[in-house]
Amino acid sequence: MTEQRTFVIVGAGLAGAKAAETLREEGFTGRVVLIGAEPQRPYERPPLSKGLLLGTAEPDSAYVHEPDWYDRHDVELRTGSAAHAVDRDRRRVRLAAGEEIGYDRLLLATGARPRTLSVPGARLDGVHHLRTLTDSERIAAAVHGGTRLVIIGAGWIGLEVAAAARARGAAVTVVETAPLPLHRVLGDRLARFFADLHTGHDVRFHFGSGIREICGTATVSHVVLDDGTELPADAVLVAVGVVPCTGLAEAAGLPVDNGILVDHRLGTADPHVFAAGDVANVDHPLLGHRIRVEHWATALHTGPVAARAMLGRPVTYDRLPYFFTDQYDLGMEYAGWVAPGAGTDLVVRGSLEDREFIAFWTRQGRVVAGMNVNVWEVTDQIQALIQAGLTTGATVAPDRLADPDVPLEALLS
């Protein structure tokens, strides 16, 4: 029997592209429409603040599929085409241009957009955000030897751009309201480690500082901090986090609370509508609470799970959050989840001074998260420790956790 159903995916980022790929891999022969607001075919964002800014990655390396993949797999890719509204009663998506597309199943993979500042001057020329390939190209064009770059926000993207900009020869100043970079995520000791990494590369920090104003006439000239300090700037990057793109879902009456609320199979309250990637706030069965994760690996893995759920397969999304970053000669992977403000202990195996270590966050002896810095091929073992803590309550003695002579595999025995 010929498959008559139409599956529509709104959001042609990594999650949307992987969902389309999975529908075909799973043998779905109906119509697949992938709608993306950006002009490019789906691409991955991590290189935008790393290899593409450094000039070490080929621009084409970011794309999820070869250009002809969509035709070859009969996926109707509509780039430069924003979905404007979802009519759940009639099961139709309306595009900005007015066209309507009916769906049997709908996946919302609309991702997130950069948070903006509301201070005067925030829209001046020379003030950048970084989410898209176009943003990355603009920043690359604006930042070179001698550029005075002020980065507002010392989160992962702010720090990655700081590293890339230093490699491009720019003078970099980072302004952050918290006392240290990544302080809320990493805590004092490791936040200090990242601050030292960057000051060692001549990045200047202003911690505990907000922005009063961004000044300039035609283009930006300086940034004024809360305390009146003026920082000269040829370019400014605002990197103060993202907000999930939930507008379509909200207007369609779907439950939204810090993302689109989905169950363990990424289904919304409407059995015909699913959500994946940065925009999905998932009821995570292993963690026992909801999480919305803004990581590459989540987009990579939730897209396929949502696709299988759309096909009616029994699925559960229970992967642990996983994140990576590269800054200068430091490579890092992080797995697990520490709720902000949760009381945890930090155990370090290896040497912070040598920048080669694994940091574990534990709660009541259970490993809840782990971060390997310039130590490789340990993610599976770290995740196994976290899984064991979550599923069986397994605890690990801190002295064994810290001891590099005890293999990670042996910690659970």
Ligand X SMILES: Cc1cc2nc3c(=O)[nH]c(=O)nc-3n(C[C@H](O)[C@H](O)[C@H](O)COP(=O)(O)OP(=O)(O)OC[C@H]3O[C@@H](n4cnc5c(N)ncnc54)[C@H](O)[C@@H]3O)c2cc1C
Q: Specify the amino acid at residue 400.
A: R
Nearer to ligand X, 93 or 195 (CB): 93
Nearer to ligand X, 327 or 387 (CB): 327
Nearer to ligand X, 274 or 323 (CB): 323
- Asked whether the beta carbons of 391 and 385 are under 8 A apart, the reply is no
Q: Shortest gap between Cβ of 215 and ligand X (angstroms)?
A: 26
Identify the DSSP state of 283: E
Nearer to ligand X, 176 or 294 (CB): 294
Give phi and psi for 134, each to the nearest 5.
-65, -40
Q: Shortest gap between Cβ of 50 and ligand X (angstroms)?
A: 7
Kind and range of the H or E run holding 386: helix 379-392
Range 5-29 burial, b when 16+ CB lie within 10 A, else e: ebbbbbbbbbbbbbbbbbbbeeebe
Q: The dihedral of CA 362, 46, 305, 379: what is its sign?
A: negative
Nearer to ligand X, 241 or 365 (CB): 241
- Tokens describing residue 343: 């009381």
Q: Shortest gap between Cβ of 171 and ligand X (angstroms)?
A: 21
Site of interaction with ligand X (CB under 6 A): 10-16, 35-38, 45-46, 48-49, 82-83, 109-112, 130-131, 157, 245, 248, 277-278, 294-297, 299, 323-325
Residue 202 CB-half CA count within 13 A = 11
Q: Shortest gap between Cβ of 56 and ligand X (angstroms)?
A: 14
Q: Is 75 exposed, middle or buried (0-12, 13-18, 19+ CB in 10 A)?
A: buried
Nearer to ligand X, 21 or 38 (CB): 38
Identify the DSSP state of 43: B
Rg (Cα) of the chain, in Å, rounded? 22
Q: Shortest gap between Cβ of 293 and ligand X (angstroms)?
A: 7
Q: Shortest gap between Cβ of 96 and ligand X (angstroms)?
A: 8
